[in-house]
Amino acid sequence: MNQSHTTPPEASGPERRRRAQGARADALQAELAKTDPGLANFADGFIFGDVWGRPGLTFEERMMVAITALAATGHPTQLKNYLHGALQDGTPASKLHEIFVMLTVYCGFPTALDGMILWQQVLDSARRQGIHIDLDERDTE
């Protein structure tokens, strides 16, 4: 599923949501709709339509911001979904790993370690699904 990291401006909210949340996106959306159909529409229309559809950041950059915010604010369920989505979309695991290293500085060790534990679970699951993970592909920026 390794797609380009720029989402065409004509992409719809549901397309962006599926890309961000990965293979389980439709099941997650169905669960949300069972809870409250208005929230499901809000996710597709406002969150992934209006906000994620704005110019200025690439899809990958938006994913990095979302993952960082979810990790920093302690939302493991959503964080796990986005980490899976990012890997399935082709975001290098090494970039995602660095988010948790940076969190040690800006959010403290407990937050970073909680994120690292969940990240390891996602990596293990991705490997079982046959997704190649290479944490040695480090950017040199």
Q: Where do the domains of the chain lie?
A: 9-56, 58-141
Backbone torsion region of residue 122, taken as left when φ is above 0, otherwise alpha when ψ lies between -120 and 50, otherwise beta = alpha
Integer-rounded Cα radius of gyration of the chain: 15
In percent, the amount of the chain with pLDDT more than 90 equals: 83
C-alpha span between 141 and 80 (Å, rounded): 27
The residue-averaged pLDDT of 119-137 equals 89
Tokens for 38, please give them: 């208005």
| Tens of pLDDT, residues 8-39 | 556 899 999 999 999 999 999 999 999 999 99
CATH topology classification for 58-141: AhpD-like (1.20.1290)
Residue 136: pLDDT band with limits 50, 70, 90: confident
CA distances from 132 to 12, 31, 123 (A): 28, 29, 10
Q: What value does the mean pLDDT of the chain take?
A: 90
Q: Which residues of 62-71 are buried (b: 16+ CB within 10 A; e: fewer)?
A: bbbebbbebb
What percentage of the chain carries pLDDT values higher than 70?
Answer: 89
The closest of 49, 88, 81, 50 to 66, measured between CA atoms, is 81
Residue at 21: amino acid letter: Q
- Residue 137's pLDDT band (cuts 50, 70, 90): low
| 45: three-class secondary structure by DSSP | helix
The pLDDT of residue 70 is: 98
